[in-house]
Structure formats: C-alpha cells, structure tokens
C-alpha cells in the first residue's frame, strides 16, 4: 500500500521517563529532604534538653538530701559523700556541663549546653534551678518541656 501525505503514520508509543520529569522529581525530593532535615535537627535539640534537665534535677534531689543530713548545702558537686554529692560534672550523654554554686542556705545548679547542643536556641542553652525550685529560663520559653 502506498502512503499518501494525508494518511497518518502510526508512531510507536514510547515508555519510560523523560529527563525533565526525572529532574522535577529530584528537585521535589530535595526540597522535602531539606525540610525534613531541619525539623529533625530541631526535634533532636529539644529531645537532648532532657539530658540537661535530668542532670540538674538529680543535683537538686542530692542537695536536698545533703541538706537534710547536714543542715547545709554543699558546693562540692563531684566529691564523694559525705563531703559532696558524688555527681559527675557532665550530663549522662555529655551534652551539658553541670556546675553548682552553693552557700550553706542556698544553691544554684546550672546545665550549660556543650558540643552540638550549643546550637540550641539561645534561651535554652543554659538551664538553672535553685533551692526554691525556681527554674530558668521561664517555663513559657518551652525549654523545660
């Protein structure tokens, strides 16, 4: 059969993905990945605050016990009992440095973010608690949640 210009030539249907479609998918995945990475980093910083909170709450409990036994607070964080609390100067996972300032009737336990945790929000890098249970920063900042 002779083909004329009016006759349509059947084209073979192509299957697969074009380069443009593939590039669009890669761009979308990259955007979603960057959003997920930022959210995950923020989540990890918030989760790691638990390490600092736990450490200074442990200091608070030990100071209160020390006060009941000695009628005074101690400023010796790392010394073994009966002269100190016997608590390490870093939090359990090492994300916070723990310090203690005390007189006979007052104390302030401080957890300061170190390493990667130091990139936490400015308000939450340093957590403190004193003999009255006053915590800083304020609860409204979300650092103690």
Q: Return the pLDDT at 9.
A: 64
pTM, full prediction: 0.76
Distance CA(68)–CA(66), nearest Å, equals: 5
H or E element at residue 128: strand 126-130
For the segment 5-35, what is each residue's pLDDT rounded down to a tens digit? 556 666 667 677 889 999 999 999 999 998 8
Distance (Å) of CA 106 to CA 43, 116, 128: 34, 31, 13
Name the β-bridge partners of 45.
Answer: none
Distance CA(126)–CA(134), nearest Å, equals: 14
Q: Return the pLDDT at 5.
A: 59
Alpha-helix runs per DSSP H in 86-125 = none
Helices (H) then strands (E): counts for the chain: 1, 4
For the segment 27-57, what is each residue's pLDDT rounded down to a tens digit? 999 999 988 888 898 899 999 999 999 999 9
> Could you state, in order of their start, the residue ranges of all structural domains in the chain?
25-141
């Amino acid at each position: 059969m002779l083909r004329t210009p009016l006759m349509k030539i059947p084209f073979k249907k192509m299957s697969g993905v074009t380069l443009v479609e593939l590039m669009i998918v890669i761009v979308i995945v990259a955007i979603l990945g960057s959003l997920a990475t930022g959210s995950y980093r923020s989540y990890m910083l918030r989760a790691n605050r638990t390490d600092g909170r736990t450490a200074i709450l442990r200091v608070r409990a030990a100071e209160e016990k020390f006060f009941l036994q000695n009628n005074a607070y101690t400023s010796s964080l790392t010394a073994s009992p009966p002269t100190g609390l016997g608590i390490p100067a870093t939090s359990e996972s090492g994300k916070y440095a723990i310090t203690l300032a005390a007189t006979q009737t007052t104390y302030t336990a401080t957890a300061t973010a170190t390493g990667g945790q130091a990139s936490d929000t400015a308000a939450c890098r340093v957590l403190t608690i004193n003999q009255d249970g006053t915590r800083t920063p304020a609860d409204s900042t979300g650092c103690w949640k």
